[in-house]
Amino acid sequence: MNRLSHIVSILAFIALPIIAQTAYAEDSSWYQIEVLVFSQQDLYREEKHRMDVQLSYPDNWRNLYDPSSPQNRIASSASSETNSVLDPSASTNNLAGADKESYVALPQNLLKLGPDNYTLKRAPGYRPLYHKAWRQQGLDFQQSPWILIQGGEQYGNHHELEGSIRLVMNRYLHIQANLWKARFASLAPPLMMETVHSDTATPGMYSPESSVSEGSSLTLPMLPNLPGTEASEGLTPSTPNNAKFQVTDIITLEQSSRVSRDEITYLDHPEMGVLVLVSKYEE
């Protein structure tokens, strides 16, 4: 009898990690992720910006669907009118299921870092660049998509803040960030029209056909185009299509950190900060 009890104890001990991991996966399969990115002054000028970095977007990327954007509101309104004619209960069902969808930008009233955003807006030396939240399933390193990030001021086809971020669930939750923040300066228009060839393009000028000259004293990393967009997309009405901007500086933040549910995780950089809040999502 003692021998049988001993065998049962060994089998139970071996099965414990498997049971615990399964219970963890089942207990926390859906999450709400909130990200607040802000710029901050490097008062001590301690950060030396690297120029040997290669800026790029991952292959496994995804854009958040934002129902509040003008284009999506128009498309959603037209779709709702059509569906309501075919099925009067369709619009009600769509609204009821909206919060259950993954990778959809949540409305402001569901954001929990609003007070932090409010404080940063009024604190000297700080400026919020990006603040959004979404819901998704917990996925591993191979499956979890990178969420594309754009924030701050817009300069032609680029934004002040760009990059990607994602939540990964292995045994523990991790947040991975690959962000960059650029400084731009507008270039005065030429006095007369002339053709600019790729081998004589102005260093740091970003347009689809420009490149950095090899002889420049300061060679900045190239800003990659946003995946899935055309070169002419993203221009604001105040930005003419032929505008050119000089990139004067680029800082990067590439970090990975373990996160705990319902606790704020801070990714630190002398000139940029990221607040991440991950909560378990229950319907």
Statement: residue 95 has pLDDT above 50? no
Q: Where are the beta strands (DSSP E) in the chain?
A: 30-40, 61-62, 126-137, 146-155, 158-169, 173-186, 245-259, 264-269, 272-280
Question: Can you tell me the distance from the alpha carbon of 94 to that of 100, in angstroms, rounded to the nearest whole number?
Answer: 10
Residues in the chain: 283
- Backbone φ and ψ of 148, nearest 5°: -70, 140
The pLDDT value given to residue 216:
43
Give the angle 181-153-113 at the CA atoms, nearest 5°.
Answer: 75
Statement: residue 231 has pLDDT above 60? no
The pLDDT value given to residue 69:
74
Extents of the domains making up the chain: 28-65+101-280
Least Cα distance to 222 among 232, 234, 212 occurs for: 212
Residue 132's identity, in one-letter code, is K
Question: Can you tell me the distance from the alpha carbon of 124 to that of 137, in angstroms, rounded to the nearest whole number?
Answer: 37
- Residue 136: CA atoms inside 13 Å, Cβ hemisphere, count? 25
What is the mean predicted confidence (pLDDT) over 206-228? 59
The residue with greater pLDDT, 213 or 226, is 226
Span 110-123, pLDDT tens digits: 999 999 999 999 99
Q: Which of 4-13, 83-92, 204-213 is predicted least confidently?
A: 204-213
Chain position carrying tokens 């420049």: 216
Q: What is the DSSP letter of 205?
A: B
Span 2-35, pLDDT tens digits: 665 555 455 555 554 444 444 444 445 899 999 9
The pLDDT value given to residue 81:
52
- Backbone φ and ψ of 252, nearest 5°: -125, 150
Span 42-77, pLDDT tens digits: 766 666 666 667 899 999 999 999 998 776 655 444
User: For the CA atoms of 45, 50, 56, 58, what is the dihedral angle to 10 degrees?
Assistant: -80
The pLDDT value given to residue 235:
35
Least Cα distance to 271 among 116, 186, 146, 160 occurs for: 160
Span 153-183, pLDDT tens digits: 999 889 999 999 999 998 899 999 999 999 9
Q: How much is the pTM?
A: 0.69
Residue 108's identity, in one-letter code, is Q
The pLDDT value given to residue 1:
53
Statement: residue 145 has pLDDT above 50? yes
What is the mean predicted confidence (pLDDT) over 193-198? 44
b/e map 230-252, b = 16+ CB within 10 Å: eeeebeeeeeeeeebbbbeebbb
Give the angle 151-153-156 at the CA atoms, nearest 5°.
Answer: 105
